[in-house]
Structure 1
Amino acid sequence: MMSFSRADTSTLGRWWWTIDRWTLAALLALVGFGYVMMLAASPAVAERIGASSRNMFFIRQIVYLAGATAAMLAVSMLSIRQVRLLGWLGLGVSLAMVAATLVMGVEIKGARRWLSVPGLGSIQPSEFLKPCFAVVAAWLIAEGKANRRHGATLLAILLFLGIAALLKGQPDIGMLLVVTAVFFAQFFVAGLNLFVVGFVGALGVAAAAFAYTLFPHVQSRVERFLDPSAGDNYQVTVALEAFGHGGLLGRGPGEGRVKNVLPDAHADFVFAVAGEEFGLVICLVILALFAFVVVRGLVRLLGETDLFVVLASAGLLTQFGLQAFVNMASSLHLIPTKGMTLPFVSYGGSSVLAIALGMGMLLALTRRRLSRLEEER
């Protein structure tokens, strides 16, 4: 276990005594579950699709999770100013890459969300857009509130509208909903007028109805959720059966059957694999870890006086918690299905690295700082 003296003034020493070690431990525990679930689910998936190696997905995920952990720790050592600069840089790069997907993106199931990178396979730039936009939007909103710079708030809204247009063009309605929820949450925390809240809520309902009528895949998912006989609900049905077979303690590691039949058992439906092989108890532990990160993060913000830190952290926590909720709720048929990964647990390079970036920013922003000078180091 890492140990430093409180008198240690080195970068690593200051980091250790100022970082939220409980949140860090919870995030590392989720990374550990990611390794376990890939070992449980991915070999069967690789074998079913005829991959060159049965351990192909597992080996890749080892690299992804190791890189993500290193990135999260490195970003957590940044100062508030450096986090803000990283947010702007990341937003600029990811915006350019998201725009590039509309021109040269890899099309999968009618959507252009991925870019092919030699040697790395495909990446999904919009994943990196989420945490970076949360940080940039927080700074712009905070500037608009503190200095009465209405142009900053207007720029935040214009950036959001531009991102919304790009995501609609791909199309990626699920990602757009997450970005919208994060942006609205930040405005709400900043003190949005309740009448405006109601107006924006009405716009959200109208936008949902618009998406339902405009996009056939959205309409299909909603109809299948409301009426299972309206279409193919194979994956959700099998996932629910897996939870039932798992019971309280599960069938045991490697004894599950859902991974042999579900196409996305290692990704979107990894929670069902956990339910079947490890049971309700482990599912509740995973749920508790996500809830702990979100609740502890919000509690640490209660005494924070820097509006930028509050807004950025609230946005990052909203994104993290919402993504976890959507994945688990989809697997349990509590909401219409949406292809969204379970943070750190599901397979996926872009998703894991982007989540690590966001959580590294959160850890950096919520570190204890003794003075304003320390904040800018």
Structure 2
Amino acid sequence: MQAVFNHLKGDRIIWFIVILLSLFSVLGVYSATGTLAFRQMGGNTEYYLLKQLFITGFGLVLMYIAHRVNHLYYSRVAQVLLYVSVPLLAFTLLFGSDINEAKRWITLPVLNISFQTSDLAKLALIMYTSRMLSRKQHIIKDFDRSFLPIVLPMVVVCMLIVPANLSTAALLFTTCIILMFIGRVHMRHIALTLWFGLSVFALYVAAATFTGKGRVQTWKSRLESYVNKDAEEPYQVQQAKIAIANGGLLRLAPGKSMQRNFLPHPYSDFIYAILIEEYGLITGLIILVLYLILLYRCIRIFARGPDAFGALLAVGLGVVLVIQALMNMAVTVNLMPVTGLTLPLVSMGGTSVLFSSISIGIILSVSRHIEAISPQNHLAEP
């Protein structure tokens, strides 16, 4: 075990957080998929457990590989990934698999695996934005030579994601705005980005409403049910609250969730509620604290960053993961409208788990480089 631990470079606390979240993932998915297993797998409850163990294990392998690669390499591949992501997003929008009135997935030929292209685009855009911000620091206030090359890909990618996945587009747009602020982009330019992004989104909503196409009606109903406190709460929110109430303060009842039989997608969107139901509110608080510690460690890496690209990349990837986690938990306790975002590294999934693992691996790559050049300032220190 010590030999394995010695091969894990970078921030050891982040490694520890990942292992804990992976354990919660396996426990939660195994319990939450019980009903699904009986409905689709003839009662083979081990199927989804083994599948999640494989995906989690493969994700850890990808994380290890990513953390061994010099982080500067990701700057070189950022543009390539972005150029691949944009046509993939467009293809998904036009020809993707239609699930719940949203085209978010494409099926890879031969392998017959569903692939959510927005996961790749999210990683690619953060890498690209970090690259451009670091390379344009000497002219960061210049509108034509700095601002436009940074903001145009951001708007294009987010608008390609919006029709099928508004919450992911909003999450990615917000993260890029934060990166621009950290990267010393002129506040006037940031305000212009916000205005332009909201204007384009408003035009899309108007066009979709006029034509009767898209998911605008779904967004509207979710927002209205959240804002109007007199209206009946969405079914999934009601069931999530019941699950949390059943959990109490502290509980140890693995596999004894009742609400998994009523909650839509208890193994993905609402796995946080299932974990609280089976292990109590204290466990839910522990999971929340783990994500906040992850954010703190990423900010710490940013503060000690070996270069502008590495610092921006680490904090950008950390911010997008943690904000997504907070949004997922906020939906569970009805602090915001239903979004459909999963809990990173915990919810059952394929590409979401793998790309989250790669993101953590890249963060660890940056911290590994800091260790290499400053061994006396080891990142595992509190």
TM over 0.5: yes
Of 158, 182, 185, the residue aligned with 1:189 is 182
Give the CA deviation at 1:66.
Answer: 1.0
When structure 1 is superposed on structure 2, of 352-361 and 81-90 the one drifting more is 81-90
Match of 1:95 in 2: 86
Match of 1:58 in 2: 49
- Residue 165 of structure 2 corresponds to residue 172 of structure 1: yes
For the residue of structure 1 that corresponds to 2:280, the secondary structure is helix
How far apart, in 1, do the equivalents of 2:233 and 2:343 lie? 23
Give the CA deviation at 1:51.
Answer: 5.4
- Match of 1:218, as an amino acid? W
Deviations 1:76-99 (A, max 9, x none): 111022222343343333333222
Deviations 1:109-160 (A, max 9, x none): 2211101124343110111211221011111121111366853542222211
For the residue of structure 2 that corresponds to 1:115, the secondary structure is strand
Q: Percent identity?
A: 24
Q: Which runs of 5+ in 1 are unaligned?
A: 5-11, 373-377
For the residue of structure 2 that corresponds to 1:301, the secondary structure is helix
| Contact persistence 2:105–2:116 (CA under 8 A) | yes
- Residue 8 of structure 2 corresponds to residue 2 of structure 1: no
Of 149, 154, 168, the residue aligned with 1:155 is 149
How far apart, in 1, do the equivalents of 2:372 and 2:257 lie? 51
How far apart, in 2, do the equivalents of 1:179 and 1:283 lie? 25
Match of 1:76 in 2: 67
For the residue of structure 1 that corresponds to 2:292, the secondary structure is helix
How far apart, in 1, do the equivalents of 2:232 and 2:39 lie? 25
| Contact persistence 1:182–1:318 (CA under 8 A) | yes
Match of 1:279 in 2: 280
| Contact persistence 2:139–2:146 (CA under 8 A) | no
Give the CA deviation at 1:297.
Answer: 1.2
How many residues in Structure 1 have an aligned counterpart in Structure 2?
A: 362
- Match of 1:107, as an amino acid? D
| Contact persistence 1:245–1:251 (CA under 8 A) | no
Give the CA deviation at 1:40.
Answer: 1.6
Match of 2:35 in 1: 44
CA distance 1:301–1:232, shift in 2 (3 Å) = closer
- Residue 294 of structure 2 corresponds to residue 293 of structure 1: yes
Paired residues for 1:1-377 under 5 Å: 1-3=1-3, 16=8, 18-48=9-39, 53-117=44-108, 118-146=110-138, 151=145, 153-168=147-162, 170-201=163-194, 214=209, 215-227=216-228, 230=231, 233-250=234-251, 252-304=253-305, 306-367=307-368, 368=370, 370=372
CA distance 1:178–1:225, shift in 2 (3 Å) = same
How far apart, in 1, do the equivalents of 2:128 and 2:269 lie? 29
Deviations 1:178-225 (A, max 9, x none): 110111011000123344445555566667766776511111110011
Give the CA deviation at 1:174.
Answer: 1.0
| Contact persistence 2:305–2:366 (CA under 8 A) | no
Match of 1:375 in 2: none
Q: Give the TM-score, by structure 2 length.
A: 0.86
- Match of 1:155, as an amino acid? P
CA distance 1:79–1:89, shift in 2 (3 Å) = same
For the residue of structure 1 that corresponds to 2:303, the secondary structure is coil
| Contact persistence 2:136–2:146 (CA under 8 A) | yes
How far apart, in 1, do the equivalents of 2:204 and 2:221 lie? 11
How far apart, in 2, do the equivalents of 1:29 and 1:233 lie? 31
For the residue of structure 2 that corresponds to 1:242, the secondary structure is helix
| Contact persistence 1:45–1:265 (CA under 8 A) | no
CA distance 1:89–1:68, shift in 2 (3 Å) = farther
| Contact persistence 1:41–1:265 (CA under 8 A) | yes
| Contact persistence 2:33–2:266 (CA under 8 A) | yes
Deviations 1:210-268 (A, max 9, x none): 67765111111100111255466111001011111111113611221011111201110
- Match of 2:154, as an amino acid? F
Deviations 1:12-66 (A, max 9, x none): 97x64x5111111111211111111112211223224565733332222122111
Give the CA deviation at 1:317.
Answer: 1.1
How far apart, in 1, do the equivalents of 2:13 and 2:38 lie? 38
How far apart, in 1, do the equivalents of 2:80 and 2:33 lie? 34
| Contact persistence 2:302–2:312 (CA under 8 A) | no
For the residue of structure 1 that corresponds to 2:106, the secondary structure is strand
How far apart, in 2, do the equivalents of 1:265 and 1:163 lie? 29
| Contact persistence 1:77–1:364 (CA under 8 A) | yes
| Contact persistence 2:82–2:124 (CA under 8 A) | yes
- Match of 1:174, as an amino acid? S
| Contact persistence 1:185–1:314 (CA under 8 A) | no
- Match of 1:191, as an amino acid? R
How far apart, in 1, do the equivalents of 2:361 and 2:183 lie? 23
CA distance 1:371–1:249, shift in 2 (3 Å) = closer
- Match of 1:21, as an amino acid? R
